Amino acid sequence: LLMQLHIDYADGSSEIIATDAGWRATTGPIRYADLLMGEYYDARREMPGWNAPGFDDRDWSRVAVSSRSSVPLVSDPAQPVRALEAIAPLSRTEPAPGTFIFDLGQNIAGRASVRTTGPAGTTITLRLGEMLDADGALYTENLRGARATDTFVLAGAGEEVFEPRFTFHGFRYVEVSGYPGIPALDAIAGRFVGSDTLVAGGFTCSDELVNQLQRNIVWGQRGNFLSVPTDCPQRDERLGWLGDAQVFVATAIGNMDVSAFFTKWMRDVSDAQGWNGAFSNVAPRLADLDDAAPAWGDCGVILPWTIWQAYGDTRIIDEHWAAMAAWVAWIRDANPDLRWRHNRMHDYGDWLSIGADTPKELIGTAYFAYDAKLMAGMAEATGRDAEARYYRHLFDEIAAVFRDAYVRPDGTIEGDTQTVYCLALQFGLLTGDLEPVAARHLVERIADKNGHLSTGFVGVSYLCHVLTEHGYPDVAYRLLQNRTFPSWKYSILQGATTIWERWDGWTEDKGFQNPGMNSFNHYSLGSVGDWMRRSVSGIGQVPGTTGYASLRIRPQVNNELTFAEGQYDSIRGPVRSRWERSDDSLTLQVDVPANVTAEVWIPAEATDHVTEGQRDVAIREWHDATAIVDVGSGAWSFTVQQR
């Protein structure tokens, strides 16, 4: 234990209590506790009052003291990890005599509690997992080396309740064996555990499967934001993968207030940076010790930029400027021709894409350019004028190299996958005349897949954004509405209550994917949540602004839905956008915080009659079947009478 407790007294004095040679220790009822393996608790060894003043610890042992003077303790700015709400099981089965399985109905990160009465020495074993086998038994193969098993030995002291404190698991199902008698349904409860970040936003619409997708995204975020943004809470991994975080950070911001959470974790990212300037694949840099791959290490630039955009605070840029600059320099030094051919390390590519092979060198070069583009914007925002000019020039150079190396005269891009077009368009790597051509090719590649996506971790976060911004919101809606594999709704129709790691984690024709890497709580593919908030409900910012000081409310109304609503508690106050359509009218309700302006884009033909609260509206301009109206703070209700 390494601890400092700072106490400030009412009289103005202070005291520091720190771990030192004066401490004592002993073994108690917790025989072992491990995040992956679980906890073993023997209630017969409990010592009542051990943590209260006056307890006699004379028989406890002196502690061994090691010098840690070179490792400073720092306060954690983020919300603590807490045991939050309890979840009651929905059902109980008995797949084998004496073995009971409780279904919480929701995949969570946390632990299970058990309540019982029995003789001393009775040993109850809880095993936890996300799925069931075809025969109804607990499926644990995808946990790999993690035992995810908690053991409780009763003291025989009447009714006893056990809930482990020093472990957590990813699970929906609790297998109970050794229980004295037949456990009642309420003998077991799930307990969600995660960083106690405040809810910041919500989304709902007329399609209940899309609402379930939003719930799955939120549960995936909650279950993987435990001090660091882990990739998964169940198997023997649970690492802060940078690639996962960078594709999901914008979605995370829309769901929770993650300003403090990512302030803390970005310090982990910089702390894990190598002497050579390379960021790591995971932070803290514990298990995967390699330097970072493209789209993974770039998180070190993308995350500060995204946090600044959302919260309008440039301190995260200043704190990590040297680290970001070193990362870009590391790439450039190894690739003087500006194509990211060298130092791509493990090179994950468009991780877990479906039937599409995006060239990895192209992915790296695209992200190299994007890094330079974001660095230029952050330099300008923080008064680094010379650096802004340098990075703008670097972006222009890399973008030109990208076009020369990978873009063909007919506008197709090497690899010809959905992801190559997403990256080129999202990162601004094409000239104006090539952008509509590339957008058409993207739509064609979706048509080639019978209207389905084929993107992995890298492409999926940009796919619907790119389609919408380049005139194809109907295609983005088609991807959202797909019910067949691969799609977001497919896993929901198979019972998913969180986002799966793989599109094919379980399919009707093949069953479970390879258990070597098959998490059923993995938020990355849920990055579509940012598009749902920004484009379906319409909550966004005017380009070039930060911190939601200037809103752009621009919902993409589609016949697939009759209404959609989004809320977001921005740094400047709550924002709300709700649209609802009928056969002959459209209503758009907008709430704008105090001291904030908004431009509202109202879908309407130039001949439609647009009113606000029975009054005619001053329309600034008509653009692409849309009326643009400028408003200040307040609640606004616009109606479009369609003729």
Is residue 501 annotated as a catalytic residue, yes or no?
A: yes
Angle of helix 242-255 relative to helix 259-271, nearest 10 degrees? 170
Q: How far is C-alpha 39 from the geometric centre of its chain's CA atoms?
A: 28
27-47 b/e (C-beta count within 10 Å ≥ 16 → b): eebeeeeebbbbbbbbbeeee
Q: What gap in Å lies between CA 565 and CA 590, rounded to an integer?
A: 10
Using only C-alpha atoms, the chain has a radius of gyration, in whole angstroms, of 27
Contact 604, 574 (CB under 8 A): no
162-195 b/e (C-beta count within 10 Å ≥ 16 → b): bbbeebbbbbbbbbbebbeeebeeebbbbbbbbb
Contact 615, 592 (CB under 8 A): no
Q: Which two tokens stand for residue 126?
A: 């809880």
Q: Which helix (H) or strand (E) holds 396?
A: helix 385-406
Q: Which two tokens stand for residue 579?
A: 């649209």
Angle of helix 385-406 relative to helix 360-381, nearest 10 degrees? 160
Q: Which two tokens stand for residue 208?
A: 């209940």
Q: Can you spell out the DSSP letters for 257-325?
A: --HHHHHHHHHHHHHT--TTSPPBSBSS-SS--SBPPTTTTTHHHHHHHHHHHHH--THHHHHHHHHHH
Q: Which is nearest to 153 in space by CA: 172, 129, 126, 173?
A: 126
Q: Which of 361, 501, 565, 612 is an active site residue? A: 501
Q: List Cα–Cα distances, 249 to 363, 471, 489, in angstroms.
A: 19, 25, 22
Q: Which of 130, 163, 175, 237 is an active site residue? A: 237
Active-site residue set: 237, 501
